[in-house]
Amino acid sequence: MAGRQIITTAQNTWCPGCGNFSIQFTLKSILEQREKDGKSLDNVVLVTGIGCHAKMADYLNVNSFYSLHGRAVPAAVGIKLANPDLTVICCSGDGDSYAEGLDHLVFAAKRNIDITVIVHDNRVYGLTTGQYTPTSPLGFKGKSTPAGTAEFPFNPIELMLASGATYVARGYTRKMDQLKRLVAGGIAHRGFSFIDVLQICATFFPAADYYDPRVYDLPESGLENFEAACIKAKEWDYSSDAKIGLGMFYTRSLPTFDRHMPVPVVTGADRDRAISELLEARR
């Protein structure tokens, strides 16, 4: 379907000022460019988890799969392995990917599955009204921690570097041009692409005043230097007052999972027959 309206007519229930809008318009712009370049959007699949971010599946007019909490990444992996011709973009939340779904994230990176994971890292559970997540800063006061959290956040950039991700970046929803470059680069990258997006939650963690004076652009050279990437990743621990680097931390080219374990070639007819048999067996 060419020239499609990318934003759907579904009623949008994100709060005014929510950073999800920036990610939505980043994806819209990338998808429109893809069509202009003559690439069909019929081969794009968007997978989401559960959380405010997950409504992206309702709001963008592409093939989509609205999965379970913490299970966006394995659903995206399954879709990609079943049909390697698809471009699979996985939107997930910080609670979604860094708590319930952490093991899936780590192993998708370890296996260098050719998908793009965008984590809407608002550092709070927004949909359930403000509980702390694995990236909430030390002392974060929310519904489940009224006296403040007593644990340090973990650093997803370090985690993904250690797990073997071959494209590791950090964006910010108030830097949309850069975010677009990072996401487009992740989609173009052959291998596991990870973009942690510092996303403003206007209602439960409106952190723009914290981020804005601290963010700066990372250098764009030496991106295959793993040790340098680790040093850059440690600069800000998601809790301290340090400067916050935005951009690319690391990228390298490595064989993807399907190169080591070729997926059997399945034709459209095979797939239709398998689906019919499955449905028939459930009658």
Contact 200, 18 (CB under 8 A): yes
C-alpha–C-alpha distance, residues 56 and 26, integer Å? 12
Work out how close the CB of 18 gets to ligand SF4 at its nearest, in angstroms, rounded to a whole number: 3
**Which residue among 18, 45, 91, 115 contacts ligand SF4 (CB under 6 A)?**
18
Per-residue contact string for residues 117-146; x = within reach of ligand SF4 by CB under 6 A: -----x---xx-------------------
Contact 30, 116 (CB under 8 A): no
- Between residues 107 and 210, which has the closer beta carbon with respect to ligand SF4? 210
Work out how close the CB of 217 gets to ligand SF4 at its nearest, in angstroms, rounded to a whole number: 25
Name the residue among 86, 104, 256, 246 with its Cα closest to residue 174. 246
Contact 252, 224 (CB under 8 A): yes
3-state secondary structure at position 18: coil
Contact 166, 189 (CB under 8 A): yes
**Which residue among 20, 48, 131, 163 contacts ligand SF4 (CB under 6 A)?**
20
Name the residue among 79, 81, 104, 89 with its Cα closest to residue 53. 89
The footprint of ligand SF4 on residues 217-256 (CB under 6 A) is none
**Which residue among 8, 43, 83, 203 contacts ligand SF4 (CB under 6 A)?**
203
Q: Does 202 bind ligand SF4 (CB under 6 A)?
A: yes
Work out how close the CB of 9 gets to ligand SF4 at its nearest, in angstroms, rounded to a whole number: 19
**Tokens for 280?**
């028939």
Q: Is 115 exposed, middle or buried (0-12, 13-18, 19+ CB in 10 A)?
A: buried
Q: Does 15 bind ligand SF4 (CB under 6 A)?
A: yes
- Between residues 51 and 247, which has the closer beta carbon with respect to ligand SF4? 51
**Which residue among 44, 106, 169, 201 contacts ligand SF4 (CB under 6 A)?**
201
Write the DSSP symbol of residue 100: I
Please give the residue ranges that form the binding site for ligand SF4 (CB under 6 A). Answer: 14-15, 18, 20, 52, 122, 126-127, 201-204
